[in-house]
Amino acid sequence: MENNIPTVYDPQAVEDKWYRFWEENRLFHAEAAAAGDPYSIVIPPPNVTGQLHMGHAMDNTLQDILIRFRRMQGYNTLWMPGCDHAGIATQIKVEEALAQEGKSRYDLGRDEFIERIWEWKAQYGDRIVNQLKRLGASCDWERERFTMDEGCSKAVREVFVSLHEAGLIYQGHRITNWCVRCNTALSDIEVEHEEKPGHLYHVRYPIAGSDGEYITVATTRPETILGDTAVAVHPEDARYRHLIGRFALLPVVGRQLPIIADDYVDPAFGTGAVKITPAHDPNDFEMGLRHQLPQIIVMNPDGTMSAETGKYAGMDRNVCRKALVQDLKDQGLLVKIDEHAHAVGHCQRCGTVVEPLVSKQWFVKMQPLAEPALKAVTSGQVEFVPDRFTKIYTNWMENIRDWCISRQIWWGHRIPAWYCQCGEVTVSREDLTACPHCGGPVEQDADVLDTWFSSGLWPFSTMGWPEKTPELDKYYPTSVLVTGYDIIFFWVARMMMMGLRFGQDIPFRHVFIHGLVRDSEGRKMSKSLGNGIDPLEVIDKYGADTLRFMLVTGNTPGNDMRFYWERVESSRNFANKIWNASRFMLMNLEGFDPAHRPDPALYTLADRWILSRYHRTVAEVTRNMERFELGEAARLLYEFLWNEFCDWYIELAKARLYDKENAAPRAVAQHVLHQVLAHTLELLHPFMPFITEAIWQHLPHDGISIMKARWPQENAECICPADEQAMTTVMETIKAIRNMRAEVNVPPGKKSPVILQVTDAALRPVLTDNIAYLVTLAAAESVEIIGGDAVKPENAMTAVVSGVEVYLPLKGLIDVEKETARLQKELAGLEKELARVAGKLSNESFVAKAPPEVIAKEKAKEAEYREKHAAIRERVAYLETL
């Protein structure tokens, strides 16, 4: 039928072709009005100017597997694609490009800078999409969305205004995390804390109006001394009680600081006295409010010291620290510097040390939103896979704090608030040109929203919300969200809150969490380490199917995996194995009529065996897919296809396939070969879409694409343990012969006679029927089957499989001593097992309490071992007489 297929699978030759075919035939497209229960996934939107990395490759492979699986099962399947504008990340990129020209965003001005970013998006916005296509992602590209497109922007504004109307968005002067490099406020989770060795500076503050009296405070950030407005001690601290109500003199500056008492102070830490800097420390900020302390801002947004700091004004914060410490030393006020490890916050995006400082920002009040989001998970309405992430999620939700959503950057959704000179701030769905209160001119808030604000709306904004759309109706809530554990708080949690409030329902039923792809040493792949592996490189070299298979096997949900080229190669080999098994089939389908179903009576044991194994595989693979155990499903397919179908069935079928004189048996073999392989390819399709499509298209088929093939169904009637058992005996007999031949180095070309002494009468016909296999697969010259009571052959090697003693008369090749040793070793193993089983069976509690089928199994084992043992012992005894 097909003889011109290359012996090595070449992904490059088929991938582009079939992807185009799928797209041209709109096979990824979903219609809300079409039949079928909905199954939907929204893609975690990658950064629009980003590039596909290994994490994306894994994340999207998992999604594509689920989508393709459900599509084949007949669901009305939507995979919604799109990109994220990724505020700070994208802005940094464009700023870096600008820096190449020696410019900053301020040189361009806001409008021109934003225009520049849109140009970037136009230039690179397709790249990530094209990379996802190379991976094989079956997204409905006709629906592609962008977090800053018109629809999503409308959703953002609607949500902002609604939350504001509900009193859940407010503006406030509060202490927030500030990145001096990005020049913007950050939310708490955008700050990464790293425990680092630092210093604890002990500084003397003289007591006002005293003679040489002082109080010593300890601080890790001496430059903030300039913003101190009090010194606090614990009210019960006997060392300092007499000082409460008096004043200390701020070193260098000379300002008078009240000494106050507050429970917050831990007498055991440092000196038990704390300097209070309300504008630059979250705790001090709170304490400042309690004691009505003034806030003195000593640092500018760019990290230099403010005009408030006198001679230090304009210095970088780090320079100031050194200068100030020197000044304290000079004045004899620096008592000591202790080594002190403490957590320092860094900007997630640029790594700069973050400063807590007071500024005016917009916040979302989280408690009321978190409550339903928490309940949806604790009630089981939304399930995390694996389950352990439930706890991480709920713990965060229970301790949630308000979310700072305003960013002082330019790329993003502008906050829909307008300021008027009359003092009114108006939040509006429509752009304002005049103040609704006084009619005066208004100016829109300069800030934009945190990127995650719009991402949080993704499951419903992409479906057309706030409009009522058929998509929203059909596909929301989505079926599953697939993402890494690193963005559970950033994204999953926000989608839960927003979805429940604005989508009127949970955003997804399952959250399928996967781990990170690390390098071969277990390190995170990162640009700075230069240890990243480009998925495109893997696809170029080995093909997308290979990459996908490698990414989905060998690990379990939620756990990290390491990238090894050896594993890529092993997946590649599997693809090649599939290719060649298919080649074999295609080369042997001559005269095959798929419509003709052979008489089941003509099926051989091998046929019934592989069909039984196949149907078991269907059931197990489907079960594992439904439970998100994709790696296990893939492993089962690998083992079935390679170890059973290729290693055995193809070999067992060859004789019939090659014998063109006997049409009927040949047709049966063709039928089974085709049926099992074609359907196994269907099972494999979600994992390896390209190669399975390429082969499927060569086969006789109905329908346009394997993508649209019906997912295989298990037929329990085809599962036959007796046939499996019988076939196992035949295979074990073959293996036993091969083993003995290898043991004494029989040349591969040299055939030898085989004598089988069958002790289990039921096995006699099985072996008699399958003698041909021993000839072809075990190099048997002749096979003689003798009864259990017959005289045992002499001068032969011996092996025992269940119910069959296998004798290999190898005159001249047998070294009696070696053979005895080999059998003795076998005996020792059997004795050990026999002792174990006998021990179990003689244990009264076991016999009384274990389930009957377990006991029966153990008894059967015991009988088998006994029989084998007896046979081998007899053999050893015989050898010893020689």
Partner RNA sequence: GGGGUUAUAGCUCAGUUGGUUAGAGCGCUUCGUUGACAUCGAAGAGGUCUGCGGUUCGAGUCCGCCUAACCCCACCA
Choose one: 35-43, 136-144, 216-224, 815-823; the region binding RNA (CB under 7 A). Answer: 216-224
DSSP symbols for 173-184: EEEEEEETTTTE
Least Å from the CB of residue 473 to RNA: 34
Nearer to RNA, 26 or 857 (CB): 857
In the window 37-56, what residues touch RNA (CB under 7 A)?
none
For 604, half-sphere exposure in the C-beta direction (CA atoms, 13 angstrom radius) is 28
Q: Is 710 an interacting residue with respect to RNA (CB under 7 A)?
A: no
Least Å from the CB of residue 603 to RNA: 20
Residue 748: cis peptide before it, omega within 30 degrees of 0:
no
List 212, 380, 748, 812, residue binding RNA (CB under 7 A) = 748
In the window 630-649, what residues touch RNA (CB under 7 A)?
631-632, 635, 642, 646-647
Choose one: 40-48, 80-88, 553-561, 709-717; the region binding RNA (CB under 7 A). Answer: 553-561
SS3 225: helix
Residue 386: cis peptide before it, omega within 30 degrees of 0:
yes
Choose one: 88-96, 597-605, 667-675, 741-749; the region binding RNA (CB under 7 A). Answer: 741-749
Nearer to RNA, 426 or 739 (CB): 739
Residue of 580, 520, 517 whose CA lies nearest to 553: 517
Q: Is 580 an interacting residue with respect to RNA (CB under 7 A)?
A: yes
Q: How far apart are CA 448 and CA 405, in angstroms?
A: 8
List 556, 662, 768, 782, residue binding RNA (CB under 7 A) = 556
Q: Which two tokens stand for residue 419?
A: 């300021």
In the window 440-479, what residues touch RNA (CB under 7 A)?
none
Choose one: 154-162, 428-436, 691-699, 833-841; the region binding RNA (CB under 7 A). Answer: 833-841
Q: Is 650 an interacting residue with respect to RNA (CB under 7 A)?
A: yes
The pairing of strands 191-206 and 230-233 is unpaired
List 658, 701, 704, 882, residue binding RNA (CB under 7 A) = 658
Least Å from the CB of residue 773 to RNA: 13
Choose one: 113-121, 143-151, 385-393, 697-705; the region binding RNA (CB under 7 A). Answer: 385-393
Q: How far apart are CA 719 and CA 729, in angstroms?
A: 17
In the window 483-512, what residues touch RNA (CB under 7 A)?
489
List 21, 124, 170, 584, residue binding RNA (CB under 7 A) = 584
Nearer to RNA, 264 or 434 (CB): 264
Q: Is 23 an interacting residue with respect to RNA (CB under 7 A)?
A: no
For 675, half-sphere exposure in the C-beta direction (CA atoms, 13 angstrom radius) is 22
Site string for RNA, 387-426 (x = CB under 7 A): -x--xx--xx--x-x-------------------------
Nearer to RNA, 465 or 614 (CB): 614
For 27, half-sphere exposure in the C-beta direction (CA atoms, 13 angstrom radius) is 24
Choose one: 90-98, 411-419, 448-456, 573-581; the region binding RNA (CB under 7 A). Answer: 573-581
> Site size for RNA, by CB under 7 A?
95
Least Å from the CB of residue 702 to RNA: 26
List 235, 554, 594, 793, residue binding RNA (CB under 7 A) = 554
Q: How far apart are CA 140 and CA 31, in angstroms?
A: 10
In the window 64-93, what residues touch RNA (CB under 7 A)?
none
Task: Give the N- to C-terminal CA distance of the chain in Å, as an integer.
Answer: 58
Q: How far apart are CA 111 and CA 34, in angstroms?
A: 44
In the window 850-869, what residues touch RNA (CB under 7 A)?
850-851, 854, 857, 861, 865
Angle between helices 663-684 and 565-587 (to 10 degrees): 150
Q: Is 568 an interacting residue with respect to RNA (CB under 7 A)?
A: no
In the window 218-277, what residues touch RNA (CB under 7 A)?
218-221, 264-275
Q: Which residue has the tokens 């009127």?
A: 504
In the window 306-365, what residues touch RNA (CB under 7 A)?
342-343
Q: How far apart are CA 719 and CA 610, in angstroms?
A: 10
Q: Is 821 an interacting residue with respect to RNA (CB under 7 A)?
A: no
Least Å from the CB of residue 272 to RNA: 5
Nearer to RNA, 38 or 270 (CB): 270
Sequence-separated (6 or more) residues with CB below 8 Å from residue 334: 201, 202, 203, 204, 325, 328
Q: Is 570 an interacting residue with respect to RNA (CB under 7 A)?
A: yes
Nearer to RNA, 444 or 739 (CB): 739
Q: Alpha helix locations (H) across 439-534?
A: 451-455, 458-461, 470-475, 494-502
Least Å from the CB of residue 71 to RNA: 23
Q: How far apart are CA 634 and CA 65, in angstroms?
A: 11
Residue of 692, 508, 600 whose CA lies nearest to 69: 692
For residue 559, give the DSSP letter.
Answer: -
Q: Is 195 an interacting residue with respect to RNA (CB under 7 A)?
A: yes
Q: Which sign, positive or negative, has the C-alpha torsion 695, 696, 700, 705?
A: negative
Q: Is 751 an interacting residue with respect to RNA (CB under 7 A)?
A: no
Q: Quick one: three-class SS letters along 36-62?
A: CCEEEEECCCCECCCCCCHHHHHHHHH
For 680, half-sphere exposure in the C-beta direction (CA atoms, 13 angstrom radius) is 29
Least Å from the CB of residue 398 to RNA: 10
DSSP symbols for 715-733: -GGG--HHHHHHHHHHHHH
DSSP symbols for 80-109: E-EEB--HHHHHHHHHHHHHHTT--HHHH-
**657 contacts 673 by C-beta, under 8 angstroms:** yes
Choose one: 238-246, 568-576, 705-713, 807-815; the region binding RNA (CB under 7 A). Answer: 568-576
Choose one: 403-411, 533-541, 562-570, 805-813; the region binding RNA (CB under 7 A). Answer: 562-570
Q: Which two tokens stand for residue 63?
A: 């999604």
Choose one: 162-170, 368-376, 558-566, 872-880; the region binding RNA (CB under 7 A). Answer: 558-566
Sheet holding 752-758, edge to edge: 780-787, 752-758, 804-809, 796-801
Q: Is 541 an interacting residue with respect to RNA (CB under 7 A)?
A: no
Choose one: 20-28, 104-112, 565-573, 673-681; the region binding RNA (CB under 7 A). Answer: 565-573
Q: Is 745 an interacting residue with respect to RNA (CB under 7 A)?
A: yes
Q: For residue 788, which phi and psi values (nearest 5 degrees)?
A: -65, -25
Q: Is 829 an interacting residue with respect to RNA (CB under 7 A)?
A: yes
Site string for RNA, 509-538 (x = CB under 7 A): -------------x----------------
SS3 416: coil
Site string for RNA, 760-799 (x = CB under 7 A): ----------------------------------------
Name the β-bridge partners of 755.
784, 807
Q: How far apart are CA 878 and CA 881, in angstroms?
A: 5
